[in-house]
Chain A
Amino acid sequence: MTDHPLAPRIAAYVAGKMPDATGVAVADVERISGGASRETYRFRLTWTEDGEARERRLILRRDPPASLIDTERRVEFAAYGAFHGSAVPAPQMLWLEEGSEALDHPFFIAEELVGFQAAPQTLFAGGYDALLPKVAERKWTILGEIAKADPAALGLTGVMDAPALDACWRRELDHWEAVFDKETLGKEGAEPQPIARAAIRWLRAHPPPPAQKLSVVHGDYRTGNFLYDEAGEIRGVLDWEMAHLGDPLEDLAWGFNPIWEFGRGLAGGLASQADAIAIWERASGLAVDPIALHWWMLFNCVKGQGIWVGSARAFIDGGNREPILVYAAWWLLNAQDRAILKVMGKL
């Protein structure tokens, strides 16, 4: 097998970041599927330092030509970095490169958390059944820790906008409605979304109460975006590319989007909504207002549809021809419409 073409280029970049290292080399570069917002590769870094041969498994997250989510890698990098070493398990971030000279697109490099699983299919295949209550407990406890954290103390108010408590909902809704406008209005091959548009009108007509606090919002906290081990412990929270500051209920409600039930009739495929809420309230010290939660659930269904519509658009426009974009659109566009109908009581 020949070396991956990225290997020498990654090695040259890393060598420039490690002045005390000699013989920096990169091997076993392998693309990891599923990363539709960033191209994700794992690789093995070897070098010599202080006369000693060393090795580390690392992850490269590189911007694709076009993505289903337009996000700032600096924000994602900062979010990971803010929680690394805390009660919220997150991999260590190493280097952020915002230029395109080294690897054609901006990227960052992080440690790889080795030996754990992320796939919901594996989690729900039967072998983990006895551990699912523990996974549920850890999942919503960790989300509660994220909600409880002080964004300023984490240094995140310097890289993320801090909306007023009564403006969190409008900021997010404006953003995702603009995504629909951008991706569907006047575009060839675009399929207008009457169900999502009706939901947006309802959301604007029935705004939620102000957020009880300004929290870090992971933005995509769901089963499938954390690493778990064979004891049911969660070892890493991944995919922070939509992280922002906002209403903590937004994150809780994203996990209640019916498409993340994986056909099991449970929140995240793991627990009843009532149990998940109880765990989250215990961990966060916050209370869940059912009316506000419903608003955020419907909002998150709209946001999901915005992501799948953007996925289809990225493929149609030709900027990114990754098959994962097709799968997301084909598998989830109609399902997300049905989720909207379900949350609105129409299904």
Chain B
Amino acid sequence: MTPEVPSVLSELAGLLLRNADPDTPAGERANALTLCAMILAVAAEVWDDAADILVKENRSFWSLIQTGARLVADPALAADLAAFPAFAEDDYRLSALGAYNSRARGLIIRLHAALEDDVRDEADTVYRTIWALLVASTERRKLSMAPV
């Protein structure tokens, strides 16, 4: 989740305290509390699955990046892909899992672009796998009240 949940909850705590002030205009208080409620509802929905989603994605990304390192023609990209550290699974804090996920996504963007016009079968397979993984990622992260 971006922004990360702890910083958001901390901000909401401050907002709730400010709205406990009896001088807060009623309309402003109603708006602030409604927004707080909506954000907390999202946090509640994503909380249990958050680490599970990131661990699964990080494993998949790592595997694809390894395969991509053998495939791409650009030596600089190949080196960056090859140098990307394995998903160590030694730190399950959401912040650590999310940081690895973001670094992997950055490389996936470059790999995806590099394979876009590559007609080799294996390159095409990896290219399609990236699309499938990205679609699956949005399925996992879909909120119950999401508009799409």
A interface residue numbers (CB < 8 A to B) = 1-2, 4, 29-34, 189-195, 197-198, 201, 258-263, 312, 315-316, 321, 323-324, 326-327, 329-339, 341-342, 346-347
Tell me if B2 and A191 are in contact (CB < 8 A).
yes
Tell me if A329 and B3 are in contact (CB < 8 A).
yes
Tell me if A30 and B109 are in contact (CB < 8 A).
no
Q: Measured between C-beta atoms, what is the minimum distance from A327 to chain B in Å?
A: 5
Q: Measured between C-beta atoms, what is the minimum distance from A338 to chain B in Å?
A: 4
A323 and B36 contact, Cβ closer than 8 Å, known pairs A194-B105, A338-B142:
yes
Tell me if B131 and A346 are in contact (CB < 8 A).
yes
Which residues of B61-115 have CB atoms within 8 Å of chain A's CB atoms?
98, 101-102, 105-106, 108-109, 112-113
Tell me if A347 and B8 are in contact (CB < 8 A).
no
Q: Measured between C-beta atoms, what is the minimum distance from B139 to chain A in Å?
A: 8
Which chain B residues border A324 with CB–CB below 8 Å?
Answer: 35
A335 and B146 contact, Cβ closer than 8 Å, known pairs A33-B35, A192-B106, A330-B1:
yes
Q: Measured between C-beta atoms, what is the minimum distance from B24 to chain A in Å?
A: 9
Which chain B residues border A201 with CB–CB below 8 Å?
Answer: 113, 116
Q: Measured between C-beta atoms, what is the minimum distance from A9 to chain B in Å?
A: 17
Tell me if B38 and A327 are in contact (CB < 8 A).
yes
Interface residues on B, range: 35 or more
Tell me if B39 and A334 are in contact (CB < 8 A).
no
Closest 4 CB pairs of A and B: A33-B31, A192-B105, A338-B148, A334-B141
Q: Measured between C-beta atoms, what is the minimum distance from A94 to chain B in Å?
A: 22
Which chain A residues border B11 with CB–CB below 8 Å?
Answer: 315, 321, 323, 326
Complex Cα spacing A312 to B102, Å: 14
Which chain B residues border A312 with CB–CB below 8 Å?
Answer: 2-3
Complex Cα spacing A326 to B27, Å: 21
Which chain A residues border B116 with CB–CB below 8 Å?
Answer: 201
Tell me if B31 and A326 are in contact (CB < 8 A).
no
Complex Cα spacing A323 to B147, Å: 20
Q: Measured between C-beta atoms, what is the minimum distance from A234 to chain B in Å?
A: 22
B interface residue numbers (CB < 8 A to A) = 1-4, 7-8, 11-12, 15, 23, 25, 27-28, 31-32, 34-36, 38-39, 42-43, 46, 98, 101-102, 105-106, 108-109, 112-113, 116, 130-131, 134-135, 138, 141-143, 145-148
Tell me if A32 and B31 are in contact (CB < 8 A).
yes
Complex Cα spacing A192 to B98, Å: 11
A326 and B3 contact, Cβ closer than 8 Å, known pairs A31-B31, A341-B135:
yes
Tell me if A323 and B39 are in contact (CB < 8 A).
yes
Q: Measured between C-beta atoms, what is the minimum distance from A305 to chain B in Å?
A: 12
Tell me if A262 and B147 are in contact (CB < 8 A).
yes
Which chain A residues border B108 with CB–CB below 8 Å?
Answer: 192, 194
Q: Select which of A194, A259, A335 is within 8 A of B134 by beta carbon.
A: A194
Which chain B residues border A316 with CB–CB below 8 Å?
Answer: 2-3, 7
Tell me if A330 and B146 are in contact (CB < 8 A).
no
Please name the residue on chain A nearest to B131 by beta carbon.
A346
Please name the residue on chain B nearest to A337 by beta carbon.
B138
Complex Cα spacing A29 to B102, Å: 42
Q: Measured between C-beta atoms, what is the minimum distance from B56 to chain A in Å?
A: 16
Q: Measured between C-beta atoms, what is the minimum distance from A11 to chain B in Å?
A: 17
Complex Cα spacing A257 to B10, Å: 33
20 inter-chain pairs at a CB distance below 8 angstroms, sorted by A residue, are A4-B25, A30-B27, A31-B28, A33-B34, A190-B2, A192-B106, A193-B109, A194-B134, A197-B113, A198-B113, A263-B145, A263-B147, A323-B15, A324-B35, A326-B11, A331-B143, A331-B145, A331-B146, A335-B146, A337-B134
